[in-house]
Amino acid sequence: MRDEYFYSNRKVESIKLEYCIESCKTFEEFSKSFSDEFLNDDTRVGDYLDDLLRDYDKKASVVSFDAHLANSYVGNIINGKKNNPSRDALINICLAIGTTLEQAQYLLKYAGHAPLYVRRKRDVIIWFGFMKHETIEIVNDNLLQCGLKPLYSE
């Protein structure tokens, strides 16, 4: 059984994990083969976020400020004190860092959140923000102009 989805306007197929789990006799067998597919391991989210900060030469406190979050928010995710960052907070962080859309999508999925989806108007506005390298403030203004929930409030 194959799962179809679109990436960069081309169709991609991947084997559904649901099919793989059906072929395994025990959780241990599935876990051994597909442990890298599990989501929401808080330390791994922090590790990935730390890698992004290093890759973009950004400091956690500066990104927190630029993302309109508490000064220690990003640092707390990295050191494991913040275990469940919201979807919008992670989007804000990615916009503040200046990540690619793919990196933001990966972080959202890794944290157990829905990735940006092209059939949701709000998500498309955010998606364009990543594609056009817009600031978080511009993306937020675009959301407000369309009468949609902003990423942050003033």
Range from 18-22, 34-38, 115-119 that averages highest in pLDDT? 115-119
Q: Greater confidence, 40 or 86?
A: 86
Q: What is the mean pLDDT of residues 33-62?
A: 82
Which residues sit opposite 3 in a β-bridge? 14
The whole-number pLDDT of residue 36 equals 66
Q: What is the mean pLDDT of residues 29-36?
A: 78
- For 16, other C-beta atoms within 10 Å of its C-beta total 13
Q: What is the pLDDT of residues 82-102, one digit of tens each?
A: 888 999 999 999 999 999 999
List C-alpha distances in Å: 91 to 20, 34, 48, 115: 31, 27, 14, 10
Domain count along the chain: 2
Q: Are residues 78 and 5 in the same domain?
A: no
Q: Are residues 86 and 125 in the same domain?
A: yes
Q: Are residues 69 and 58 in the same domain?
A: yes
The whole-number pLDDT of residue 4 equals 41
The whole-number pLDDT of residue 22 equals 81
Q: Are residues 48 and 116 in the same domain?
A: yes
Residues of the domain holding 32:
1-38
Q: What is the mean pLDDT of residues 117-139?
A: 97
* pLDDT band of 7, cuts 50, 70, 90: very low
